[in-house]
A and B are shown apart, each in its own frame.
Chain A
Amino acid sequence: MSDFYQTGVITTLHRLGKPSLERIEGELLHFSRTRPVALVLPALYSEFEGPAMPKIVEELSKVKYLCEIVLVLDKASDKEFQKVREFMAPIPGDVKIIHNDGRRVMEIYDTFKRNGLSVGERGKGRSAWLAYGYVIANGKCDVIALHDCDIVNYSREMLARLCYPVANPNLDYVFCKGFYSRVTNKMHGRVTRLLVTPLIRSLQSLGGEHRFLKFIDSFRYPLAGEFAMSTDMARVNRIPWDWGLEVGSLAEVYRNYSPRRICQVDIADTYEHKHQVLSSEDPEKGLMKMTIDICKSIFRTLASEGIVFSDGFFKSLSVAYLRLAEDTIMKYEADAAINGLEFDRHEEAKAVESFARAIAMAAETFMKNPMGTPLIPNWNRVTSAIPGILDMLKKAVDEDNR
């Protein structure tokens, strides 16, 4: 994939020519002196038994420009925590593992709860948010990068390209989202292809030009779990703890910063990761929850920007979406054909049907309770409610890692 077209309102950074890994890492090493970079990795213990983690650890051991790495370990016992520590030992530099189920961190979560701060349920959003808190508590890093731990074809070039725009002090970016194509023998990323983009476009056709919709539409892969941001943003942004995490985070970025300071970067030619979570449950159900949460997140952001929703609007939306989604299927069919990829039209159509149902369900929930926000309070709010909380968090994590 190679072109240099600038989409929408944010900056797009392409893969052009033959970028050299040594050069980019050399520059990052230089930048890291004035703008140190932290890497946050939300992980489940089960991912350490998968195929992706060993490659990630191997690649990270060769990375020299990171100030600290914070891995948030969910669903692990004390013994499993120790195993993970050994697993991560080859990586040089500051590596801290936040043991979400350890007694110290559990006590921290309880401290939030008893002070009236709702930080949501277990999940990637909450884990990432806690890691931001630790990075803020340490006060060492100006940039936070985040990516998943189930990327099978991980290479440190992905990380370097992800960090570069925000770490470079000569460019003025505060947020950078990764994009890629998820293609193996067939096209993946159904939710992005068949839900998000058609939904956004049908909202635009119904409600007219809206800056937020234009903003989201600029992203080539809005659901990518890879991004880098400045630490200040971590203090101010409120992120959702449900599946609306990615879209909700983009909404917060849109709310708080100018689009000129936001970019997206092509981080890989191909990208493959395994959604372990979805395959263990009924795929229908898992995908449904995700879809509903994403839709709710989009509706909520639009409502806060002044759009008025009504039953009539949602009815029209369903029709417009179905129309647009069907057209999109045809487009992707052609795309798959020319590239020799497998394409199951029936499966795609079924997905679109479930998505349409999910949109309707999301609309219903939203109309009933538009203020039902699963947003985690930002760190500024938390520290003013519980003044010593960052010290407590730092102590908990440092002691766990001693």
Chain B
Amino acid sequence: MIMQDFLTLVLEPFREVFAGFKRFAPNMLAMLTILIGGLVFARIVRALLRKALTALSFDAWSDRMGFTVMMRKGDLWTKPAEAVVRVVFWFLVIFTIMIGLSALKVHAVNTLVAQFFLYLPRVLSAVLILVIGYVAAGFLSRTVLIALVNNGYHYAKVLAEAVRLLLIVLILAMALEQLQVAPNIVVAAFSIIFGGIVIALAIAFGAGGIEAARRIIEKGAAEKSEGKDDIQHL
């Protein structure tokens, strides 16, 4: 009798664990299947993408378009097609892992996965802001540069670079804000940097620029009195 009870006592925890394991096992299996399946899928996609990009001479195209130069300037020396393939591959792997984890149906993990997927759109929009913002900053800065040069301003390049810098600081702050990385600090830092640049410009032009400003004004007045070109370009 006592032996019987003792055995039951000893085996009970094992039975409980085993039962728990039995409940959990299907989820575990599901996760493993998803992981393996996802990995295989990612590998297939990687191989196909590699073949496709090679067939399209993606590398040569990237060389001519200037994307390769950008990579090299960042000291990245992989072939452009390879870089794209790797980014896609790892993205698929992470995606798979996330889905696999959600199959575990563990509450804490679920919240994590949900947050990951909720965060993805923010990452996307941050990347978009960076890319579009970078191009726009370059475009605007060049517009300013050319306009100032054609009007004969000596400090055209300085001003154009300042414009670009301000815009890039703005873009970075916007991207960080999207990613919700310490938002208050980002706002404060942005205000300080932006304001700082503007003040620095003001001081520079104020102190050093008094002479220059005077010359510009005098030159402008002289030009008006002697008259600009009388030739008709058109």
* A adjacent to B, CB under 8 Å: yes
Residue A167 at the chain B interface, CB threshold 8 Å: no
Residues of chain B within 8 A (CB-CB) of A389 are 63
Residues of chain A within 8 A (CB-CB) of B75 are 395, 399
Q: Which of A111, A395, A399 contacts B63 (CB 8 A)?
A: A111
Compute how far the CA of A115 lies from the CA of B58 in the bound complex, rounded to whole angstroms: 10
Do B68 and A387 touch (CB < 8 A)?
no
Q: Which of B57, B59, B64, B72 contacts A387 (CB 8 A)?
A: B64
Q: How large is the interface on B (under 10, 10 to 19, 20 to 34, 35 or more residues)?
A: 10 to 19
Residues of chain A within 8 A (CB-CB) of B60 are 114-116
Residue B117 at the chain A interface, CB threshold 8 Å: no
Compute how far the CA of A261 lies from the CA of B69 in the bound complex, rounded to whole angstroms: 37
Do B77 and A396 touch (CB < 8 A)?
yes
Residue B73 at the chain A interface, CB threshold 8 Å: yes
Q: Which of A114, A385, A395, A399 contacts B59 (CB 8 A)?
A: A114
Residues of chain A within 8 A (CB-CB) of B72 are 388, 391-392, 395-396
Interface residues of A in 231-288 (CB under 8 A from B): none
Compute how far the CA of A388 lies from the CA of B59 in the bound complex, rounded to whole angstroms: 13
Compute how far the CA of A386 lies from the CA of B57 in the bound complex, rounded to whole angstroms: 14
Do B69 and A392 touch (CB < 8 A)?
yes
Residues of chain A within 8 A (CB-CB) of B73 are 391, 395
Interface residues of B in 64-78 (CB under 8 A from A): 64, 66, 68-69, 72-73, 75, 77
Name the residue of chain B whose CB is nearest to the CB of A398: B75
Compute how far the CA of A335 lies from the CA of B73 in the bound complex, rounded to whole angstroms: 59
Residue A327 at the chain B interface, CB threshold 8 Å: no
Residue B79 at the chain A interface, CB threshold 8 Å: yes
Q: Which of B57, B66, B77 contacts A114 (CB 8 A)?
A: B57
Residue A110 at the chain B interface, CB threshold 8 Å: yes
* Whole-angstrom distance between the Cβ of A326 and the nearest chain B Cβ: 54
Residue A104 at the chain B interface, CB threshold 8 Å: yes
Q: How large is the interface on A (under 10, 10 to 19, 20 to 34, 35 or more residues)?
A: 10 to 19
Most buried by B among A116, A389, A392, A396: A392
Contact with B along A360-399 (1 / 0, CB 8 A): 0000000000000000000000000111110110011001
Q: Which of B57, B64, B69, B79 contacts A107 (CB 8 A)?
A: B79
Do B63 and A107 touch (CB < 8 A)?
no
Given A391-B69, A395-B72, A386-B77 contact (CB < 8 Å): no
Compute how far the CA of A104 lies from the CA of B63 in the bound complex, rounded to whole angstroms: 15
Compute how far the CA of A391 lies from the CA of B60 in the bound complex, rounded to whole angstroms: 16
Main SS of chain B's interface residues?
helix
Residues of chain B within 8 A (CB-CB) of A114 are 57, 59-60, 63
Name the residue of chain A whose CB is nearest to the CB of B81: A114
Residues of chain B within 8 A (CB-CB) of A391 are 69, 72-73
Compute how far the CA of A391 lies from the CA of B72 in the bound complex, rounded to whole angstroms: 8
Interface residues of B in 46-105 (CB under 8 A from A): 57, 59-60, 63-64, 66, 68-69, 72-73, 75, 77, 79
Do B64 and A392 touch (CB < 8 A)?
no
* Whole-angstrom distance between the Cβ of A145 and the nearest chain B Cβ: 28
Name the residue of chain B whose CB is nearest to the CB of A395: B72
Name the residue of chain B whose CB is nearest to the CB of A388: B69
Do A104 and B77 touch (CB < 8 A)?
yes
* Whole-angstrom distance between the Cβ of B121 and the nearest chain A Cβ: 33
Interface residues of A in 106-133 (CB under 8 A from B): 107, 110-111, 114-116
Compute how far the CA of A116 lies from the CA of B59 in the bound complex, rounded to whole angstroms: 12
Interface residues of A in 311-329 (CB under 8 A from B): none
Residues of chain B within 8 A (CB-CB) of A140 are none
Most buried by A among B64, B66, B69, B79: B69
Residue A103 at the chain B interface, CB threshold 8 Å: yes
Contact with B along A130-155 (1 / 0, CB 8 A): 00000000000000000000000000
Compute how far the CA of A386 lies from the CA of B77 in the bound complex, rounded to whole angstroms: 16
* Whole-angstrom distance between the Cβ of B74 and the nearest chain A Cβ: 9
* Whole-angstrom distance between the Cβ of A206 and the nearest chain B Cβ: 46
Compute how far the CA of A386 lies from the CA of B72 in the bound complex, rounded to whole angstroms: 14
Compute how far the CA of A116 lies from the CA of B57 in the bound complex, rounded to whole angstroms: 11
Interface residues of A in 81-119 (CB under 8 A from B): 103-104, 107, 110-111, 114-116
Do B63 and A115 touch (CB < 8 A)?
yes
* Whole-angstrom distance between the Cβ of A67 and the nearest chain B Cβ: 24
Compute how far the CA of A107 lies from the CA of B72 in the bound complex, rounded to whole angstroms: 10
Residues of chain A within 8 A (CB-CB) of B57 are 114
* Whole-angstrom distance between the Cβ of A85 and the nearest chain B Cβ: 18
Residues of chain A within 8 A (CB-CB) of B68 are 111, 388, 392
Residues of chain B within 8 A (CB-CB) of A386 are 63-64
Most buried by B among A110, A385, A395, A399: A395
Residues of chain B within 8 A (CB-CB) of A395 are 72-73, 75
Compute how far the CA of A111 lies from the CA of B62 in the bound complex, rounded to whole angstroms: 10
* Whole-angstrom distance between the Cβ of B72 and the nearest chain A Cβ: 4
Compute how far the CA of A111 lies from the CA of B79 in the bound complex, rounded to whole angstroms: 9
Residues of chain B within 8 A (CB-CB) of A107 are 77, 79
Do B64 and A115 touch (CB < 8 A)?
yes
Given A114-B59, A115-B60, A392-B72, A387-B77 contact (CB < 8 Å): no
Name the residue of chain A whose CB is nearest to the CB of B66: A388
List 5 contacting pairs A-B, 8 Å CB cutoff, sorted by A. Answer: A111-B63, A111-B68, A114-B59, A395-B73, A396-B72
Given contacts A115-B64, A389-B63, A391-B72, 9 further A-B pairs with CB under 8 A are A104-B77, A107-B77, A114-B59, A114-B63, A386-B64, A388-B68, A395-B72, A395-B73, A399-B75
Which residues does A use to contact B, with CB under 8 Å?
103-104, 107, 110-111, 114-116, 385-389, 391-392, 395-396, 399
Closest 5 CB pairs of A and B: A388-B69, A392-B72, A115-B60, A114-B60, A107-B77
